[in-house]
């Protein structure tokens, strides 16, 4: 059970908490132990198993794609856990998987389920894999490609009805792709959409873009379990915060309305605090409302530009997004005066309005820098992945606003992504994006309470 009250207390306290130096430990911090396998450092008594690794042959005969990104864990049959994981890959990428070379030889019935076949020569190499994991034996029992033909599937989010929303972080047109005059790939379709993957699917699902959810550089999604409204972030320097109101909750392909957030009384507010006078202050909620996006599926990459002109607030690379009690928490990776990241929350207060609040802003001495994917831990804290230019760790934010290390990637410069917990809260899953790997981590989580 998620300790939601715990998180609500953290919001109230965050504004008065001093910055925790990166090189130091906050009070009560649990020290990390160097990993002899040189993959991921964890506290004493914790351990991990490798659930997924790029290049490994899967149950469907294909190889695991690389660049593991957003991910969610769902309850499967007989105590198994089903992990649906994004792969942030472009069609022209050089990858360890064999999909491109084998694609033309695949049965037509299978190829027809891909979104973009790339003239059967350069299909979209992104998408999702589904992994069936046995938490008792700590072994992967089955793994297969569950969404194909898409590009740069970065983050997304789980739905209350048992599916994964996989978001393309790109905006591409159909046509030939060239680098330095040399043909590199062929696209048959437009890109920049959200796709839905049922967690219980046992094979590749037909890839159908949910066009009313917008064509832009999607990052993450989170669904209000009461209303079915989907909130979304966008990974651009000046991006918007969106919501999608479906005509039929739980039936996203049946159409709906796309909207963008506006701060009351301050149209087109830039929330990134890059100027000397901050637009947002920690711990000061601001009233907000929503405006309609009239053309959610444009030919040009213009939604954020039109939205800003119409009054929508802008954010500095909106990325991770999750449900946190009665509100939604999301990160902005390069927000703040030092451009080291911000964390906001949005609390709906009515069908058409809510409160936007800045709850954390990193400084050069902060433990947490360049916040990306995040989730709410079973013990009530936020758990945040870092995406820095060098060192990337996994950081927790306590009720008093202090920060502490949960794990550390001291061995590569890869970002961390996809942090999530098993349905019973006992296992934490995390991705080391490059070259691509999923870890299942177990231990006594009470040490962080």
Digitized pLDDT (tens) for each residue of the chain, 449 residues in all: 333 334 443 443 333 333 333 433 455 689 999 999 999 999 999 999 999 999 999 999 999 999 999 999 999 999 999 999 999 998 877 655 678 889 999 999 999 999 999 999 899 999 999 999 999 999 999 999 999 999 999 999 999 999 999 999 999 999 987 766 666 788 999 999 999 999 999 999 999 999 999 999 999 999 999 999 999 999 999 999 999 999 999 999 999 999 999 999 999 999 999 998 999 999 999 999 999 999 999 999 999 999 999 999 999 999 999 999 999 999 999 999 999 999 999 999 999 999 999 999 999 989 999 999 999 999 999 999 999 988 899 999 987 778 999 999 999 999 999 999 999 999 999 999 998 999 999 999 999 98
Beta strands in 369-432 (DSSP E): 371-376, 382-386, 392-397, 403-409, 416-421, 428-432
CA 304 to chain CA mean position, Å: 19
Q: Give the residue among 299, 295, 324, 325 at the shortest CA–CA distance from 309.
A: 295
Strands of the sheet containing 428-432, edge to edge, are: 47-53, 437-442, 428-432, 416-421
What pLDDT was estimated at residue 101? 87
What pLDDT was estimated at residue 18? 33
Task: Determine if the peptide bond prior to 435 is cis (ω within 30°).
Answer: yes
Contact 320, 222 (CB under 8 A): no
In degrees and rounded to multiples of 5, residue 77 shows phi and psi of: -75, 150
Q: Please list, in sequence order, all residues whose beta carbon lies within 8 angstroms of the beta carbon of residue 138, skipping any fewer than 6 positions away.
A: 49, 440
Name the 3-class secondary structure at 24. Answer: coil
Q: Using CA atoms, how far apart are residues 79 and 92, in angstroms rounded to an integer? A: 39
Distances (CA, A) of 255 to 156, 162, 192, 194, 252: 19, 19, 17, 13, 6
Contact 170, 127 (CB under 8 A): no
* Cα atoms in the Cβ-side hemisphere of radius 13 Å centred on 371: 32
Contact 210, 253 (CB under 8 A): yes
What is the fold of 4-442? Answer: Neuraminidase (2.120.10)
Name the 3-class secondary structure at 275. Answer: coil
**Reduced DSSP (H G I as helix, E B as strand, rest coil) percent helix, strand, coil of the chain, to 5:** 10, 40, 50
- Cβ atoms within 10 Å, residue 278: 16
Q: Please list, in sequence order, all residues whose beta carbon lies within 8 angstroms of the beta carbon of residue 32, skipping any fewer than 6 positions away.
A: 41, 42, 43, 405, 407, 408
Beta strands in 264-376 (DSSP E): 286-292, 318-324, 327-332, 342-348, 353-361, 371-376
Name the 3-class secondary structure at 274. Answer: coil
Distances (CA, A) of 190 to 151, 172, 200: 10, 6, 28
Q: Please list, in sequence order, all residues whose beta carbon lies within 8 angstroms of the beta carbon of residue 88, skipping any fewer than 6 positions away.
A: 67, 69, 126, 152, 153, 154, 169, 433
What pLDDT was estimated at residue 439? 98
Q: Please list, in sequence order, all residues whose beta carbon lies within 8 angstroms of the beta carbon of residue 378, skipping any fewer than 6 positions away.
A: 1, 2, 3, 421, 425, 445
In DSSP terms, which residues pair with 147 in a beta bridge?
A: 128
Q: Using CA atoms, how far apart are residues 438 and 422, in angstroms rounded to an integer? A: 13
What pLDDT was estimated at residue 10? 43
Tokens representing 404 are 């502490």
């Amino acid at each position: 059970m998620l300790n939601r009250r715990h998180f609500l207390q953290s919001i109230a306290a965050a504004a008065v908490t001093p910055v925790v130096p990166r090189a130091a430990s906050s009070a009560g911090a649990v020290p990390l132990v160097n990993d002899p396998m040189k993959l991921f450092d964890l506290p004493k008594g914790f351990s991990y198993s490798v659930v997924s690794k790029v290049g490994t042959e899967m149950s469907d005969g294909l190889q695991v794609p690389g660049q593991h990104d957003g991910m969610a864990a769902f309850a499967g049959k007989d105590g198994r856990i089903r992990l649906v994981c994004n792969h942030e890959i472009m069609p022209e990428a050089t990858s360890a998987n064999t999909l491109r070379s084998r694609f033309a030889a695949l049965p037509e019935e299978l190829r027809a389920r891909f979104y973009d076949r790339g003239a059967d020569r350069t299909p979209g190499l992104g998408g999702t894999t589904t992994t069936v994991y046995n938490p008792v034996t700590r072994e992967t029992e089955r793994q297969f490609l569950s969404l194909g033909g898409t590009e740069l599937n970065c983050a997304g989010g789980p739905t209350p009805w048992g599916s994964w929303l996989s978001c393309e972080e790109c905006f591409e047109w159909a046509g030939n792709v060239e680098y330095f005059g040399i043909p590199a790939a062929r696209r048959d379709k437009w890109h920049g959409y959200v796709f839905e993957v049922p967690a219980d699917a046992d094979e590749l699902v037909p890839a159908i873009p949910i066009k009313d959810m917008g064509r832009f550089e999607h990052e993450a999604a989170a669904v209000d379990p009461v209303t079915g409204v989907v909130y979304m972030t966008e990974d651009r320097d000046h991006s918007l915060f969106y919501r999608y109101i479906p005509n039929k909750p739980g039936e996203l392909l049946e159409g709906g309305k796309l909207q963008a957030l506006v701060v009351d009384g301050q149209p087109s507010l830039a929330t990134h605090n890059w100027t000397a006078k901050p637009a947002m202050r920690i711990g000061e909620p601001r009233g907000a409302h929503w405006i309609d996006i009239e053309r959610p599926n444009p030919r040009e990459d213009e939604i954020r530009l039109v939205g800003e002109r119409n009054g929508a607030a802008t954010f500095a690379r909106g990325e991770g997004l999750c449900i946190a009690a009665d509100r939604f928490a999301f990160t902005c990776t390069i927000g703040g005066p030092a451009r080291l990241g911000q964390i906001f929350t949005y609390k709906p207060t009515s069908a058409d309005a809510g409160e936007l609040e800045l709850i954390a802003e990193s400084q050069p001495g902060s433990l947490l820098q360049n916040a990306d994917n995040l989730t709410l831990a079973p013990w009530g804290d936020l758990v945040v992945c870092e995406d820095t230019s060098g060192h990337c760790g996994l950081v927790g934010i306590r009720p008093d606003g202090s920060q502490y290390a949960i794990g550390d990637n001291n061995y590569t410069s890869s970002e961390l992504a996809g942090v999530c917990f098993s349905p019973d809260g006992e296992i934490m899953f995390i991705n080391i994006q490059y070259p691509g790997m999923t870890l299942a981590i177990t231990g006594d989580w009470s040490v962080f309470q």
